[in-house]
Amino acid sequence: MTRRIAALVALAAVIAAGLAVHRLLPSSLASDVSGDALYAVAAYSGLVLLLPRAPRPVPAAGAALWCIGVELLQLTGIPLALAERMPIAALVLGSGFDARDLVVYVLAVASAMGIDHAVGTRRRVERAAPR
């Protein structure tokens, strides 16, 4: 499986999990942190899908910057105003700033990059193994 296909599969799974957390779990610290982590992993997976040959720190930095930027945008009130008019906007832009989210984003992106590295290493080992 190529890195792009793996990223597409991961992105689809993460979006499905994020929507399930949003729809099925009661609002709590655990569901909030889970949703934030899944959002960051979706950002990483999406960038890997777009830039499959980029070194892992590139999509990781892009995903972290995107997530942090969106979180800081929440300080302006713009995402909240958009969410009031179009509730689906809250899934992409959130609605209220929470400093804890910044930590969750960075840890989730680092974890996604680690998993990406492990999967890539395994693929290289499998390709190099004699058949």
Residue 120, number of CB atoms within 10 A of its CB: 13
pLDDT digits (tens, 9 = 90+) for 61-73: 999 999 999 999 9
Per-residue pLDDT, 104:
98
- Determine the 3-state secondary structure of 56 from DSSP: coil
Q: Could you tell me the pTM of the whole model?
A: 0.91
pLDDT reading at 20 higher than 90: yes
Q: Are 116 and 56 in contact (CB under 8 A)?
A: yes
Residue 131's pLDDT band, with cuts at 50, 70 and 90, is: low
Element (H, E) at 5: helix 3-24
Residue 131 burial (C-beta neighbours within 10 Å; 0-12, 13-18, 19+): exposed
Residue 4 confidence (pLDDT)? 93
Question: Is residue 51 within 8 Å of 40, Cβ to Cβ?
Answer: no
